[in-house]
Structure 1
Amino acid sequence: MNAEEWLNSIVEEVLKRLQKRMKRATVLFTGGAIGFPEALQQIKLLQDNGWDLNILLSNSAEYVLTPHLIKEQLGTSRVYVEKEIKELSSFYEGVSAFIVPTLTLNTAVKIALGIADTMATNLASNMIMQGIPFIAAKDSCDLQNPIRSDLGLNKAPKAYLDKMGEHLRTLESYGVKLVDAKNLYQAVQMNVFTFSNQKNQAPESNKQIYEDKKKVLTRNDIVEARQKEMILKIPSTTILSPLALEAARELRVKIIRE
């Protein structure tokens, strides 16, 4: 093994350990039923990928989805219902992502309006204010979902549809990533982990790629990239300082290693 191969192996190991430390998330089920089967499959994929998940059920989710079903489907006993929760800090401190697999319209609207009067909306508010990646399945809260038409739930006037759509766009302006339930796993991976090999990096049309040939990447480099809304492309031999790694995660700066 030559020096470059040796250094590449060290970089790969550092990134693997970083990702392992970052694979901790809070999963909150609200009472939405549309997209629930697909969402469960995506949460299973996260489990199989080594994610450490704390799973919460709102009062409506406890009634509609039931803790027994979710425990059975996910094969875990770490499922908590709203009435059991005394404090929320343990569910947002030290997590790398907040995942809502079944976001209801009621909860979505409250979050968009800044209302934090339930466990779900209070938790969401904390996640947004702390800048923690927030990924939610929109199947149950999107009134344009074709399943609603199949169920005969497409009779709302245009003005109502427009207003609800406006609330969802407000959530996105807060940094909430709204996706189809079938794409949850991919969305979580892309929003939490900033590091990619060049061949796996999906292009982002609104961001320029800047090639940085420095031997050591610092926190200041990450902050500058965030301010200029750039993606950084670095050689495989570049060393990232611990502060740079942390800043890249917090500021969601994408880094491509050649």
Structure 2
Amino acid sequence: MARPIQKPFWLDPYPVLFPPTQLALTDPDGLLAIGGDLSPEWLLNAYQKGIFPWFNEDDPILWWSPNPRSVLFLENLIVRKSLIKVIRKQKFTVTLDTAFEKVMENCSKITRPGQNGTWILPKMRDAYTQLHQKGHAHSVEVWQNGELVGGLYGVALGKMFYGESMFSLVSDASKVGFVALCQQLKAWGFEIIDSQVETQHLKSLGTQLITREHFESILKRNTQKKFPPKAWQFEVDWQAPFLAIPCDSSHQSSAL
């Protein structure tokens, strides 16, 4: 007997309700549902379940829960010798939540291999700006000589951070921003960054693939930890550990 063809679920704008993630398609990997809305209520409900929106300009809203999932356990962050040297030169300044909309705009303009155009459309930028104004979406800005040259943004729920996109206009800028964020998140007691889908760029920094089941167990534990939504700023000197070590080998943050 032929197996029934799987199809994603169609969502109405209301109520805010997703099907179980176990029902996501395997081809394309992780496509779960179509429709709904990009309001803060929809987005926060989605991230609580490990679901995120990702669609092109001519598509309806598409919601995803890939299996396996790309994540970074903060204790496994890899900072290679070349990047340590860049950090030690202190040619970049890194800030948090000072230019969220500019970071999103730059992320939308970066050309990415295998992608035609951008999924960071004006309605996505408006939606995540609303989350930022509510203290749930955050940006990392990397500056050089007063110019924004790199950064990334994502969403935080409890002590769970979901990375969305990053950009770099000069070599290593986005990596420096990512390392700085990792140091601060670790100091706040965060355990993991969700990087959604594997890329070689993030894999070089220590991301790995885990099953959806494993990811969701981590997700549940960390979203329940109390960490109030608010604008972020650095509360640690994130560069200090790298300034204090020799530059003769690759380094993992767990040793810092």
Could you say which TM-score interval applies, normalised by the shorter chain? under 0.3
In terms of fraction of residues, the more helix-rich structure is 1
Q: Which structure has the larger Rg over C-alpha atoms?
A: 1
TM-score, normalised relative to structure 1: 0.28
In terms of fraction of residues, the more strand-rich structure is 2
Structure with bigger RCO (C-alpha 8 Å, 6+ apart)? 2
